[in-house]
Amino acid sequence: MTKIKGLLVALGAILLMNGCTLGLGQAGIKPDVTPLAASIKLSGPVVVTVYDERAVSWLGDPGAVGGHIDISDTLGEGVKQAIEATLEDAGMTPDNSSEAPQFQVYIDTLNYSIPAGEFLSYIDLTANIRVNVRTDEGTYQNIYSARERRSLKSVPEKEDSLVMVNEILTMAINRAFEDRKLIDYIGGL
């Protein structure tokens, strides 16, 4: 009986540690960007840089329903990895050279807000990014946005909130890759 209790305590400790390891701090931002069409072939090196230009490092309102989510540790790297993977799938090679074309992403807005009040009914999600592609010949830049209002039945758990944030960020990034002028500019590199 003591042996079983010991095993149960050990199992509980392992589950607790795994819960902490897989918790909010580790989940982070991982946009699931749609690959470019198979007909789009790109080549050459590219340097992807992501800048977090948001006014605050968290999402939500610390004093409101649902609290806030701090994503500052994973936002830039998560977006960079998603964009590099998309460009690499299309034939480009991620690089660190200062002479390679620069694909710069500025995250200007990323909002997650649950309205204050007695009744919880929806959440507003917004993502605005700027993309600048810089080469020796010049710069192409544009702004891409995504906005969505989702119905809620209860306050979402932080993990569910992160899923929604990843989805709205993915929508904005996908809009950039759907911009034919951006793709044509990258293709001319």
Question: What does the pLDDT look like over 67-106, one tens digit per residue?
Answer: 667 787 889 999 999 999 999 999 999 999 988 999 999 9
Per-residue pLDDT of 110-147, as tens digits, reads 998 877 665 678 889 999 999 999 988 899 999 999 99
Per-residue pLDDT of 19-33, as tens digits, reads 333 333 335 889 999
Asked whether 169 and 109 are in contact (CB, 8 A), the reply is no
Distances (CA, A) of 30 to 12, 14, 78, 145: 29, 26, 5, 18
CATH number for region 29-187: 3.30.160.150
Q: Grade residue 8 by pLDDT with cuts at 50, 70 and 90.
A: very low
- Count of helix runs (H) and strand runs (E) in the chain: 5, 7
The average confidence (pLDDT) of the chain is 81
- pTM for the model stands at 0.80
Q: What is the pLDDT of residue 1?
A: 52
Q: What is the pLDDT of residue 117?
A: 67
Q: What is the pLDDT of residue 156?
A: 79
Asked whether 128 and 148 are in contact (CB, 8 A), the reply is no
Distances (CA, A) of 122 to 34, 62, 119, 168: 27, 18, 9, 15
Distances (CA, A) of 67 to 61, 63, 129: 6, 6, 24
Interhelix angle 180-187/158-177, nearest 10 degrees: 70
Q: Grade residue 65 by pLDDT with cuts at 50, 70 and 90.
A: low
